[in-house]
Chains A and B, each alone.
Chain A
């Protein structure tokens, strides 16, 4: 068995307010192998973005990572000194953010913002850094990159800015890219172009990708493995084929039923009853219980532990969807 690139165990991140500490991420276990693309799927408020930031220890007050281990190539990031984390961020672990309009500094040129990602990690000249940035821009399909480097973010469209972010993430040939809903703000045609490019670049460079999204269709198109997140924890994980074709957790099943791409033409979309519980009103036992159609009395009492199948698919449910259940 190969050593995982990233191994997360029992990660818990809370947010403090006057009434107490609310767990946004509540005991997440996650593994990413070198070179693979993992989709982290969940509704908004499920804690998937907070998980992404917790991995690189970028949680600011009032948030706080209170327990768990984050092992990156065997190194415990939770106990790593800040300077070590800084050296890893953007170099070995790159991030792409959700909103391309907000993440680029409006008053600095694209060249400066790409260049600093190189210069803060490697001793190299400004000109060399610009040349690399220019190559990275043309790799993500931006024409006349040298001229573009001298421009400011407002001179780029949303899709172009996200390409800049992807090019920036690739600059230092990282081992892992954490992409937090990078295509949500873009329109569909640009979204699929970018998905295609990310997949291609990941294959070419051997970079692993943790793709955070609410969209199962994106995961189906892009990922090798998927982890489904609900109320701060991973409720089901496995290969994309296993999880999307043979879901065991009722929540995954519900997500699939409400996703347009998995439903035959003419058939009605289903929806999951109710809404995800807010962070301060999670029920006892299984957090999905109030919305679940398969509840048993035990569901109110204990939170189900992960069950693993022979194919490595894992789910947390007292009354899983039977195998071979028709979608």
Chain B
């Protein structure tokens, strides 16, 4: 350590004021984020292990007892099973239904985000790489898609093609790819101006190689960061579509459909059928949003 450092450190020490404490506190990592990561991990684990930990298989109609319908949380069923979160109109254990619903919600959310990412990244890369008319056409379509509320596009689309897990996924990909395309194009355009790309072009590397081996890995970061928040968006969208009756089929209920099924019993005070799947859904969306927001800030991406 050199002497000048020591001299100034002494100054630093004597001015250790409340203000400094405040600055330190701000810089320290936020406990909220850690909580969100843990919560997200638990939810993922629950969804993954649902068949092993759920007290009941909610899709197996034979194991349900209609006599047990609309029981309050904590009730004892005919077969001796305890329904910790109550039962729905078919006598289905809500806890099991939520665990399986979580699976469906996550399946749709993750698959559609992956699909939208693939389409969006490809479109954005292509626009950035070729420029000119290709870029103009792709970006006009992107602007057009982003100009309309996604819920409306998906709703109208599903209204004409019908409900189903695969169809919901297609609808969500259709409304979400455009945002990734825009982000990817912007990032790739910045990257393309760098010298190593120019060198690769001069070297005579094929366009496809430059796009996939150089442009893609170096500009994908911001898109991936934003995709965490978009998973939350996709899950919300699926839940909403299912609530409106154009989403997943009744045979494979997601959290959104479970909530929809509970709606008619809400007014008679049988809150648990709609409330508990909703809480699970909110926890899932919140944890994704918090983690995504943190990632976005850490990487300083404007989404």
Contact = CB atoms under 8 A, between A and B. Distances in A.
Answer whether A and B touch in the complex at a CB cut-off of 8 Å: yes
Contacts of B133: none
B160 to A, nearest CB: 47
B22 A61 contact: yes
Contacts of B3: 283-284
A148 B187 CA distance: 43
Interface stretch (A16-24, A33-41, A205-213, A268-276): A16-24
Given A280-B8, A281-B4, A21 B23 contact: no
B199 interface: no
Nearest to A16: B20
A288 to B, nearest CB: 13
Contacts of B5: 281
Contact of A18 (B4, B7, B24): B24
Interface in A272-302: 280-284
B15 A14 contact: yes
Contacts of A66: 15, 17
A242 interface: no
Given A61-B22, A62-B19, A284-B4, A20 B9 contact: yes
Contacts of A21: 11-12, 15-17, 20
B7 A20 contact: no
B12 to A, nearest CB: 2
Interface string B8-52: 110111011101101110010000000000000000000000000
Contacts of B15: 14, 16, 20-21, 64, 66
A61 B25 CA distance: 14
B8 A64 contact: no
B8 A20 contact: yes
A22 B12 contact: yes
B3 to A, nearest CB: 5
A196 B4 CA distance: 44
B19 A16 contact: yes
Interface in A55-74: 61-62, 64, 66
B74 to A, nearest CB: 51
B4 A23 contact: no
A230 B27 CA distance: 32
A16 B17 contact: yes
A228 B12 CA distance: 25
Interface residues of A, number: 18
A284 B7 contact: yes
Which of B4, B17, B24 has the most CB atoms of chain A within a 10 A radius of its CB?
B4
Contacts of A17: 23
A17 B16 CA distance: 10
A282 B4 CA distance: 6
A20 B19 CA distance: 11
Contacts of B24: 18
Contacts of B17: 16, 21, 64, 66
A62 B25 CA distance: 13
A213 to B, nearest CB: 27
Given A64-B17, A282-B7, A20 B23 contact: no
B19 A23 contact: no
B19 A19 contact: no
Contacts of A281: 4-5, 8
A64 B15 CA distance: 10
B8 A61 contact: no
Contacts of A284: 3-4, 7
Contacts of B4: 281-284
B23 to A, nearest CB: 5
A136 B216 CA distance: 60
Contacts of B16: 20-21
A281 B2 CA distance: 10
Contacts of A280: 8
A283 B6 CA distance: 10
A21 B23 CA distance: 11
A281 B22 CA distance: 24
Given A18-B27, A21-B17, A62-B19, 9 more contacts: A16-B19, A18-B23, A19-B12, A20-B16, A21-B16, A64-B19, A282-B7, A284-B3, A284-B7
6 closest cross-chain pairs (CB), A and B = A20-B12, A21-B15, A284-B7, A16-B20, A283-B4, A21-B12
Interface of B: 3-5, 7-9, 11-13, 15-17, 19-20, 22-24, 27
16 contacts: A14-B11, A16-B15, A18-B24, A20-B9, A20-B15, A20-B16, A21-B17, A22-B8, A23-B11, A61-B22, A62-B19, A66-B17, A281-B8, A282-B8, A283-B4, A284-B7
